[in-house]
Amino acid sequence: MRHAIAAAAAVLTVGPVMAENRIDTIRPDAPALSAYGDHVVGVRKYELTNPGQIDIVNTTAENAPTYDRPLTVEVWYPAAESVEAGGTYEGVNLRAASVQVALEGQAVRDAAPASAGSFPLIVISHGYPGNRFLMAHLGENLASKGYVTVSIDHTDSTYADQNAFGSTLLNRPLDQDFVVETFADFSAISPELAAIIDGDTVGVIGYSMGGYGALIYGGAGVTQASTEYAWGTPNGLLTRHLAGSDTHAKMPNDKVKAIISIAPWGKNTGFWDADGLAGFSKPLMLMAGSVDDV
DSSP 212-244: HHHHHHTT--B-TGGGS-TTSSGGGGGGGGBTT
pLDDT at site 69: 98
Give 91-116 pLDDT, tens digit per residue: 888 777 788 899 999 999 999 999 98
Which of residues 85 and 24 earns the better pLDDT score?
24
231, with CB counted inside 10 A (0-12, 13-18, 19+), is: exposed
- Looking at every residue in the chain, the average pLDDT score rounds to 92
pLDDT at site 282: 97
User: What would the mean pLDDT of 62-81 be, rounded to a whole number?
Assistant: 96
Model-level pTM?
A: 0.91
Q: How many CB atoms lie within 10 A of CB 225?
A: 12
Give 156-169 pLDDT, tens digit per residue: 999 999 999 999 99
Q: Write down the CATH number for the domain with range 2-287.
A: 3.40.50
User: What would the mean pLDDT of 40-48 be, rounded to a whole number?
Assistant: 98
156, with CB counted inside 10 A (0-12, 13-18, 19+), is: buried
- Distances from the Cα of 283 to the Cα of 120, 222, 260, 261, 280, angstroms: 16, 19, 9, 11, 9
pLDDT at site 131: 95
pLDDT at site 5: 44
Q: Closest Cα to residue 68, out of 48, 52, 84?
A: 52
For residues 180 and 202, give the distance between their C-alpha atoms in angstroms, rounded to a whole number.
8
pLDDT band at 83 (very low <50, low <70, confident <90, very high): confident
